[in-house]
Chain A
């Protein structure tokens, strides 16, 4: 387990883990993104098994709700836990999701599956993929800290129902969402830099 900010108690950091095989660069990128964009500390936990228990044969996808349930049951001793996987996620009512978190919940999960340009028949593009992953991670983390969708299409908390939405929005919270994010963290006893992101 790699940890940053040893002086902090672990309960004030974000645990990042991967479910199944995943490019190490992706984990590092998400960790750096969370740290840079909102000043939160993180720890990267060891890789977990692929979520085969959540595989739905009929749909050929993984039920993100079941994964989230399993993650919530695991002790993680941190403020929030963010899982990353490369399998295709769904919730029963929707055809797919890029990620899932309960508003104010313990854990969040994101999938790289539909964030890859190849999924849409485009050439691989590492920078674009990383950009999408960073935004999706911050978005789900925002949900787990109690934030709901933002009306501002440029804000990272704006709803992404397709990858175009994700590409359109910026990698930061809008000033209002940032203030809410900061306020929610303060309620958890965590102070981050009060400076607003450039928006």
Chain B
């Protein structure tokens, strides 16, 4: 420990207090003295005493009573009981109440020195433990991305390696797998981190709007262009531009983009003037771009420009070991947002979360947790708070009646059989006529 610990001596006898004060000060400790239990409690509330030497027998509030208050006020303080009348009973009782150890007055100088050193070592170990735990937690988290699975650890490694470069990165993965978080982590760990990170959701905008969003426009460039507007490329100058849903952009925008990537310059809509920009491009898609190239929906040259380095964000079902970690992180985050005390997740609920396939990935998990916290009333998230049913869809409750369950089951089987009634009947183990009767009875319709 770099600084000397603060030790509080609590004893009603002045001679004891003073002699301990002298002794401890010779060791360089910061020493405080309290003549009563109440005084000690007041002092502990004001200052962070790390070790407390507490007399067991004091008038008024005795040592055991004081010990309880002190432990409550400062649980991390280690308390050494001092007594001239030691019995095993009182010592055991004090230890049960949380005292570290006890000393019989007068002490052997060796005894007190050894005990204080033992406490300091113990505190060092606790501190080391906390730091180690923090380090482990950091290992499971890269910026906002959480995951201890091998797949995620490889992604963290890749982010560390590509972040300091200026290379274009294509991030692929299903919706909700955290592609934007990966992009933010790359930006945040690059030399551009103090410059803007601008994200554009390309798929959400129609072609003309995307064009003006990306490149800006001059006043009067088109009807309604009442003033000059800077595009996202200009805004991102010196920083990073994240083009999300890049697989959804039109062929025209692909050409415009390709030009900027090749020439590092562009013009605002309605302007001849070229604007030079220094922007790092990160792109993401949930589409199979190679298939889109074959189908002539995506330009091969743009793909190669974007795909200098590729990172694939795995779907949640392929990294189920991360689910407990992600679920707990979601609970923490949601509780904070909902202004609720942090709650645990019951093991039965956690099992459901881990077993589920998560087609909507981390985003879906976050939504499920938020819903559970809003509708749940208990001190922990329980299975009943989760919206799963046997069909694996989120947002539907299972019917309680057998008839209801039968209807759902028939619907599923007949859908899977693509409304081939004979095949569905065979799978259900009933004849065709019975199945027709049930279809009629439950009013099952082809959807």
Contact = CB atoms under 8 A, between A and B. Distances in A.
A93 B28 CA distance: 18
B23 A93 contact: yes
Contact of B15 (A92, A96, A161): A92
A162 interface: yes
B27 A148 contact: yes
Interface string B25-65: 11110000000000000000000000000000000000000
A97 B106 CA distance: 11
Given A161-B109, A161-B110, A94 B26 contact: no
Nearest to B18: A65
Contact of A95 (B26, B27, B107): B107
B26 A93 contact: no
Contacts, number: 62
Contacts of A86: none
Contacts of B20: 93
A93 B113 contact: no
Nearest to B20: A93
Nearest to B11: A93
A59 B105 CA distance: 12
A90 B112 CA distance: 15
Interface string B66-102: 0000000000000000100000000000000000000
A93 B106 contact: yes
B106 A95 contact: yes
Contact of B26 (A59, A92, A149): A149
A160 to B, nearest CB: 8
A94 B108 contact: yes
B418 interface: no
Contacts of A92: 13, 15-16, 18-19, 106
A91 B107 CA distance: 10
A143 interface: yes
B22 interface: yes
A111 interface: no
Interface residues of A, number: 20
Query: Which of B18, B105, B106 neighbours the largest number of chain A CB atoms within 10 Å of its CB?
Result: B106
Nearest to B112: A94
Contact of B108 (A65, A95, A103): A95
Given A93-B19, A94-B23, A162 B106 contact: no
Contacts of B109: 94-97, 161-162
Contacts of B106: 59, 90-95
Contact of A94 (B18, B19, B28): B19
Nearest to B27: A149
A158 to B, nearest CB: 10
B110 to A, nearest CB: 4
A159 interface: yes
Contacts of A96: 109
A159 B18 contact: no
Q: Sort A-B residue pairs by CB-CB distance and give the 8 closest, nearest first.
A: A148-B28, A91-B19, A161-B109, A92-B15, A161-B110, A93-B19, A92-B19, A149-B27
30 contacts: A65-B18, A90-B106, A91-B23, A91-B106, A92-B13, A92-B18, A92-B106, A93-B16, A93-B19, A93-B23, A93-B107, A94-B19, A94-B23, A94-B106, A94-B107, A94-B109, A95-B107, A97-B109, A101-B26, A102-B22, A103-B25, A148-B28, A149-B26, A149-B27, A159-B113, A161-B108, A161-B109, A161-B110, A162-B109, A162-B110
